[in-house]
């Protein structure tokens, strides 16, 4: 009998979590660390990555961590990040693509430059990152976890954003829809190499400072959602662990919505 704890065991696995010190990325770093994986956290803010690594090591004394610089708009930076990860711990077993950056734009305010930047970070950069990591993932027969969004499935309701500076740009949903499709494509074309590729699409997980400053925005989000509330960052951990471990060893090309039911109506 294979126990669920065995299936969740990541001891000896090497996980590269891009954006792994952010709101949701930090939760993924934590759950992978809790189950034994070595953690490499990468983003443009190396200081925040280092701080998260220190926190993880304090909570999990046997853990090996590393903070690396990563700029998804720069091919040399991506190559360097992958090479440094492999040199530090060995081949990558788990790649989590959680890095994101962009402006809060509406259709009327977004510029060509804004659009290009968002697509560059949220879609093109993820393509380049996975492309650069594929050789290592082939060696490890590893797994890729992409981060989509509920707005990769449905359009934002414009009424939610009236009177608050939290507009949702068209580029964001377009990029996230692309990530979901890229997940399916890669699941097909990398299956022969033993690489599994899945995606999670978070729903409403706004930053605390946003909902504290704009309680009316929080209420609109809650009223819109079948479960009547916002997501708590730790609620992403279960699905992330599932898809990064052998608990999902017969799953690939899947996208799991963690959205409180947002996309069911």
- More confidently predicted of 162 and 17: 17
> Residues 111-120: pLDDT tens digits?
999 999 999 9
Mean pLDDT score, 187-206:
97
| Burial state string for 187-215 with b = 16 or more CB within 10 A and e = fewer than 16 | beebeeeebbbbbbbbbbbbeeeebeebe
What pLDDT was estimated at residue 99? 82
- Reduced to 3 states (helix: H, G, I; strand: E, B; else coil), residue 116 is helix
Dihedral pair phi/psi, residue 21, rounded to 5°: -115, 5
What pLDDT was estimated at residue 131? 98
What pLDDT was estimated at residue 162? 87
> Residues 209-241: pLDDT tens digits?
888 889 999 999 999 999 999 999 999 999 999
pTM: 0.96
Query: What positions carry a catalytic annotation?
Result: 172
Q: State how far the alpha carbon of 6 is from the alpha carbons of 29, 95, 194, 245, in Å.
A: 19, 20, 20, 10
Helices (DSSP H) in 22-124: which residue ranges? 25-34, 46-59, 75-89, 112-119
Q: Which two tokens stand for residue 160?
A: 């939610």
What pLDDT was estimated at residue 174? 96
CA distance 97 to 49: 15
CA distance 155 to 22: 24
What pLDDT was estimated at residue 125? 97
> Residues 76-121: pLDDT tens digits?
999 999 999 999 999 999 999 998 777 788 898 999 999 999 999 9
- Reduced to 3 states (helix: H, G, I; strand: E, B; else coil), residue 97 is strand
**What CATH fold (topology level) applies to the domain 4-257?**
Rossmann fold (3.40.50)
What DSSP line would sit under 172-230, residue for residue?
Answer: HHHHHHHHHHHHHHHHHHHGGGT-EEEEEEE-----HHHHHH-HHHHHHHHHHSTTSSP
Among 140, 148, 240, which Cα is nearest to 190's?
140
Q: State how far the alpha carbon of 83 is from the alpha carbons of 87, 140, 215, in Å.
A: 6, 15, 45
């Amino acid at each position: 009998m294979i126990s669920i704890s065995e299936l969740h065991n990541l001891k000896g696995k090497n996980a590269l979590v891009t954006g792994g010190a952010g709101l949701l990325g930090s939760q993924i770093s934590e759950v992978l660390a809790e189950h034994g994986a070595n953690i490499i956290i990468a983003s443009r803010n190396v200081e925040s990555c280092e701080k998260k690594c220190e926190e993880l090591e304090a909570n999990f004394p046997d853990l090996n961590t590393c903070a690396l610089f990563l700029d998804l708009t720069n091919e040399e930076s991506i190559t360097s990040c992958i090479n440094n990860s492999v040199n530090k711990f060995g081949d990558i077993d788990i790649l989590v693509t959680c890095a994101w950056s962009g402006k809060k734009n509406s259709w009327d305010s977004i510029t060509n430059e804004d659009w290009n930047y968002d697509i560059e970070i949220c879609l093109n950069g993820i393509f380049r990152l996975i492309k650069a990591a594929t050789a290592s993932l082939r060696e490890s027969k590893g797994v890729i976890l992409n981060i989509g969004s509920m707005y990769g499935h449905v359009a934002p309701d414009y009424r939610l954003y009236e009177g608050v500076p939290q507009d949702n740009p068209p580029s964001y949903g377009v990029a996230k829809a692309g990530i979901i499709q890229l997940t399916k494509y890669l699941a097909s074309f990398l299956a022969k190499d033993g690489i599994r590729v899945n995606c999670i699409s978070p729903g409403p997980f706004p930053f605390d400072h946003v909902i504290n400053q704009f309680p009316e925005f929080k209420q609109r989000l809650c009223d819109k959602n079948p479960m009547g509330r916002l997501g708590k960052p730790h609620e992403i951990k279960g699905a992330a662990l599932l898809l990064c471990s052998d608990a999902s060893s017969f799953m690939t090309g899947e996208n799991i919505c963690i959205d409180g039911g947002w996309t069911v109506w």
